[in-house]
Structure 1
Amino acid sequence: MTNIKDYINIDQEILGGQPVFKGTRVPIETLFLHLEKGVSLDEFLEDFPTVSKEQAISVLGIAEKIMTSKNIEKLYEAAA
């Protein structure tokens, strides 16, 4: 099982607590914004060389598990 803390870091001293890829200052949101704009994963990794392919794929896997959870309504309510 993937441990979120192995891939995502939240620290008030780094970008005001915005979730970033562990060991970097690259916000997780940046990956999703790039993909949303049609930028390939390989292009994202070229733009942000401090993020490993393993990290990016793991974060996408975490997002998939969250979005396909049977408890998605509870998760959405907690985030709202």
Structure 2
Amino acid sequence: MSATAYDRIVRDPAVLAGKPVIRGTRLSVELVSTLLAEGWTETDIVTNYPGLSREDVRACLEYAGNGR
């Protein structure tokens, strides 16, 4: 996994029961992956979740793709 994904995705037992989330949010990798699977585009996600960047979405994909 790239340094970017490591920097952007965190796990904290106090946040969403330790699920991986985007740093500084309570938005899980699972949520972003599900939205993409449902047909949302990267643009749809960053438009509807203005606290996220395209790099955050890509980090979620990378994290999920590595079987984490």
Aligned length: 67
Q: Which structure has the bigger radius of gyration? A: 1
What is the TM-score of this pair, normalised by structure 1?
Answer: 0.68
Preserved contact between residue 26 and residue 51 of structure 1 (Cα < 8 Å): no
Deviations 1:20-76 (A, max 9, x none): 011111011111111111111111111211211112123323444x3xxxxxxxx6x
Percent identity of the aligned residues? Answer: 28
Question: Structure 1 residues 18 and 7 mapped into 2: Cα distance closer, same or farther (>3 Å)?
Answer: same
Cα root mean square deviation, aligned: 2.1
Higher relative contact order (CA 8 A, sep 6+): 2
What is the TM-score of this pair, normalised by structure 2?
Answer: 0.77
**Correspondences of 1:38-77 after superposition (within 5 Å):** 38-64=39-65, 66=66
Find the aligned partners of 1:40 and 1:55 in 2 and give their Cα distance. 13
Q: Which runs of 5 or more residues in structure 2 are unaligned?
A: none
